[in-house]
Amino acid sequence: MRLALGQMNATIGDFAGNGAKIESLWKQAEAARADLLLVPEMALCGYPPRDLLDRPSFQAEAARLLGELARRAGKTALLAGTFLANPSKTGKPLFNAAVLLRNGRAAAVARKCLLPAYDVFDEVRHFEPAKAPTLVRLGGRRIGLTICEDLWNDKDFFRQRRLYRDDPGETLLSRGADLIVNVSASPFSEGKPRLRRRMLSRLARDGGVPVVYVNLVGGNDELVFDGGSMALDGRGRVRARAALFEEDFVVVDLDGPRVTAVAGSEPADLPDDAENEPLESLRRALVLGIRDYARKCGFQTAVVGLSGGVDSALVGALAVDALGADNVTGLALPSRYSSEGSISDARALAVALGIRLEIVPIEPLFAAAKATLAPLFAGRPDDVTEENLQARIRGMLLMAFSNKLGPLLLTTGNKSELAVGYCTLYGDMAGGLAPISDLPKMRVYALARHLNRRAGRPVIPVSTLEKAPSAELRPGQTDQDSLPPYELLDRVLEGLVERNQTPAAAARAAGAPEALAAGIARQIDRAEYKRQQAAPGLKVSTKAFGSGRRIPIAQVSRA
């Protein structure tokens, strides 16, 4: 039996574009004489469609496209990820489904059994779970059809805590499946490509059957899908693999438990460079997220406020990788407190990246704002109010540039700052996308240094990497005037945010005083109102600020 894996970048709601991509992959599969083409979960409509699923027009377009594909189906079958109406008068209105199309009709329907309702997922909001997985016969094989989460419940792999009682993969093997296929929309987080490979390898080895997995690729809002589709033989070895972070097409032949790559793959189970090098994997995820967010939202260009610091430098470099140097503009917005080194670092970065740089001093506006407010603030010394004024003037000018000339404004705040509220609402938080909002400060430094190593030259100036971080909103200011050292802060934040530890447990794990961890926990809670007004950020960790972390603003913190 010959299978084709169509790893595609679907845009949510672009039924014409998604359909055209499927048609192109189908032609390639037919040319390769494949028996079956697999495309990702919800490839017809894009994932995650969220509450677009409630719109009758959205449902009608999905049904129309599925009908067109069914009529086009010939000898090469297609397993198409989509959603279907639930005919029952009880339960959720839809099923997350994969439809097997062959010879002009729907030959079989697989409905997703395990519906994730954690982190960024909320599939139980719309979908009814299937009572059992689907087993079909095709090309002399008994094929178990699964959808994404259906394979994420192996009792031998997830030993600490399983989220579901049922294991569709185990059920299919017990019913005689000699091939398991999985169509997926599994978003990226650091370490996940390797985790997926290990999980699928365990299933294939334990069952003694090939496992063929096809994943979505591309960015959709905060989520980045990394692809990494693969075919594993009955010994759990990866025998063919699609690229990470780009569209790809792979063909494999199956003979019993054996799998042989035909085209577009690497025949051994050596990991992809991006999987083997975590920082390169992270870079590619962020570049793809920026590129697709801009493209799918109608932007061709971007603007970044360049402060001379490492955060804005990293965002500028990633934006150039994503959109090209000609499509990125840097604005340096110095105030009376900006050092000459910060301005020269912004210039050096712009030269290294090959981007346009405009220097727009904010001193006249800052002085005017202070004079305007002087009668209201009479007798009160300068404090954080005046610091925030500078940040908000910068945000105003950056947004004005974006409004007038049309580029996407990329904000430059990192996860450490966003966690404790060391950021200014309507100031440095202004913008359309926050590319590094899920990177702790020390990860920012690590990725910046990786970019320099990769380029073989200091794209990000060495002076930027070596100087003490500073918002430069008052004389002699450094971040550590208000925050613990970032090395310590990031360790505490990992415990509090990503592991949901108590301050005492986070302090022990980080080697920090418990009082410090408790104070940081209070800062995290107090800053929730800021994060809920922040630009969407690209999720690259196991727990990002965004739709996957739902904390009330009004609460009594008992951290």
DSSP conformational letter for 434 = B
Sign of CA dihedral 223, 225, 226, 232: positive
What value, to the nearest 5°, has the Cα angle with vertex 411 and ends 408 and 414? 150
Tokens representing 526 are: 């107090």
Asked whether 36 and 3 are in contact (CB, 8 A), the reply is yes
DSSP conformational letter for 457 = S
Catalytic annotation, pick one of 148, 280, 423, 494: 148
Q: What are phi and psi of 26, to 5 degrees?
A: -65, -40
Tokens representing 489 are: 């802060």
Tell which phi-psi region holds residue 76, choosing left (phi > 0), alpha (psi between -120 and 50) or beta: beta
> Is 21 one of the annotated active-site residues of the chain?
no
DSSP-derived pairing of the beta strands 77-85 and 94-102: antiparallel
Catalytic annotation, pick one of 41, 170, 222, 275: 41
> Is 441 one of the annotated active-site residues of the chain?
no
* Burial of 513: CB neighbours in 10 Å, binned 0-12, 13-18, 19+: middle
> Is 92 one of the annotated active-site residues of the chain?
no
The count of C-alpha atoms lying within 13 angstroms of the C-alpha of 396, restricted to the half-sphere facing its C-beta, is 10
What distance in Å separates the CA atoms of residue 329 and residue 350, rounded to the nearest whole number? 9
Burial 365-378 (b: 16+ CB within 10 A, else e): bbeebeeeeeeeee
DSSP conformational letter for 123 = G
Residue 395, CA distances (Å) to 37, 265, 384 in order: 48, 46, 16
Tokens representing 430 are: 């202004």
Catalytic annotation, pick one of 21, 112, 441, 530: 112
What distance in Å separates the CA atoms of residue 196 and residue 148, rounded to the nearest whole number? 11
Report the greatest alpha carbon distance in the chain. Answer: 86
Give percent helix, percent strand, percent coil of the chain, each to the nearest 5.
40, 20, 40
What distance in Å separates the CA atoms of residue 93 and residue 84, rounded to the nearest whole number? 9
Q: Which residue, 356, 345, 361, 342, is CA-closest to 472?
A: 342
Tell which phi-psi region holds residue 91, choosing left (phi > 0), alpha (psi between -120 and 50) or beta: left
User: Which single residue is written with the structure tokens 């189970």?
Assistant: 269
Asked whether 7 and 250 are in contact (CB, 8 A), the reply is yes
What distance in Å separates the CA atoms of residue 80 and residue 10, rounded to the nearest whole number? 12
The 10 Å Cβ neighbour count of residue 464 is: 25
Length of the chain as a residue count: 559
Helix (H, G, I), strand (E, B) or coil at 250: strand
Catalytically active residues, by annotation: 41, 112, 148
